[in-house]
Amino acid sequence: MTLELAEILKVIFLGIVEGITEWLPISSTGHMLIVDEFLQLNASDSFKEMFFVIIQLGAILAVLTSFWKKMFPFQFKDKSQPVIKKEIFSLWFKVVVACIPGAVITLLFDDYIEANFHTPIVIATTLIIYGIGFIIVENWNKMRIPSITNLNEITYKTAWLIGLFQVLSIIPGTSRSGATIIGALIIGVSRVAAAEFTFFLAVPVMFGLSTLKILKFGFVFTASELFILVLGMAVAFIVSVAVIKFLMSFIKKHDFKAFGWYRIVLGIAVILITTII
């Protein structure tokens, strides 16, 4: 891959798109596939797939940076032995439980899904379906008081149920965060707790998926390819940090219906553009 200015600008733009869409419930994969239809990197298909995986690592690092105190299970005081935060250890065990359904389904069907469902029509359809889902769930929630308002109140059963909803995100256009947030809201988790648990859940899931992809494609890169990967990951990291702060502030005062309407409009636009082209 050549380091032409046009390609560098494409990488920066793709990093921005990844950073914005990874943590908002609007489907990063769907947006990346749509953007790639019109703004293709001048690279092989295998490298582009690797690129999309690597820039997700930037988004993951943003979560670790933003929630480090809530995620790190040890506390160091002076020069004494580290203090174990039992509630955080317990939460990570619940995250592992939530990861099991998605891990099994991904290992069994990932290649089939990639070969048959990564199309604009599938993406548009899932964007619309889950957009409608957000609106319906939020309207329903107006009549309910959340039974779970913080992470420590999430039980193993709740974590497992949220993990089952995450399985739905294997279909492009669904959104990993969107599926888990909708599931959590239906179960009775508050918006803030649902979003935070989604961030926790994303760390092992995305690290696992990225590791599988990297092992699949290998580690041999040219200097220009390595530069492109690092640049895309860095941009995704910076943008993700800002987006995470925005989302956590937004949902304290607003519901997720705005994202639902956005998904519906985007899905319809994709169908119209695909039909015209």
Vertex 60 angle, CA 41 and 169, to 5° = 80
CB 82 within 8 A of CB 185: no
pLDDT in tens, 237-247: 999 999 999 99
pLDDT in tens, 154-165: 999 999 999 999
Tell whether the model's pLDDT for residue 1 goes beyond 80: no
Q: Quick one: three-class SS letters along the chain?
A: CCCCHHHHHHHHHHHHHHHHHCCCCCCHHHHHHHHHHHCCCCCCHHHHHHHHHHHHHHHHHHHHHHCHHHHCCEECCCCCCCEECHHHHHHHHHHHHHHHHHHHHHHHHHHHHHHHCCCHHHHHHHHHHHHHHHHHHHHHHCCCCCCECCHHHCCHHHHHHHHHHHHHHHCCCCCHHHHHHHHHHHHCECHHHHHHHHHHHHHHHHHHHHHHHHHHHCCCCCHHHHHHHHHHHHHHHHHHHHHHHHHHHHCCCCCCHHHHHHHHHHHHHHHHHHHHC
User: Which band of pLDDT confidence, cut at 50, 70 and 90, is reported for residue 277?
Assistant: low
User: Which band of pLDDT confidence, cut at 50, 70 and 90, is reported for residue 81?
Assistant: low
Q: 160: closest CA among 174, 141, 180?
A: 180
Between residues 41 and 244, the one the model is more confident about: 244
User: Which band of pLDDT confidence, cut at 50, 70 and 90, is reported for residue 15?
Assistant: very high
Calculate mean pLDDT across residues 12-16: 95
CA distances to 70, 196, 237, 245, 271 from 66, in Å: 9, 11, 11, 8, 36
Tell whether the model's pLDDT for residue 119 goes beyond 80: yes
pLDDT in tens, 164-203: 999 999 999 999 999 999 999 999 999 999 999 999 999 9
Between residues 42 and 74, the one the model is more confident about: 42
User: How far is residue 161's CA from residue 180's CA, in Å, rounded to a whole number?
Assistant: 9
Quick one: what percent of the chain has pLDDT higher than 70?
A: 94
Calculate mean pLDDT across residues 8-35: 91
User: How far is residue 193's CA from residue 210's CA, in Å, rounded to a whole number?
Assistant: 26
pLDDT given for residue 65 in this prediction: 93
User: How far is residue 60's CA from residue 236's CA, in Å, rounded to a whole number?
Assistant: 9
Q: 178: closest CA among 264, 84, 85, 238?
A: 264
Q: Is 68 left (phi over 0), alpha (psi -120 to 50) or beta?
A: alpha
Give the pairing type, strands 83-84 and 74-75: antiparallel
Residue 148, φ and ψ in degrees, nearest 5: -125, 115
pLDDT given for residue 219 in this prediction: 65
pLDDT given for residue 2 in this prediction: 66
Tell whether the model's pLDDT for residue 78 goes beyond 70: no
Quick one: what percent of the chain has pLDDT higher than 90?
A: 62
Report domain extents, the chain.
Answer: 5-276
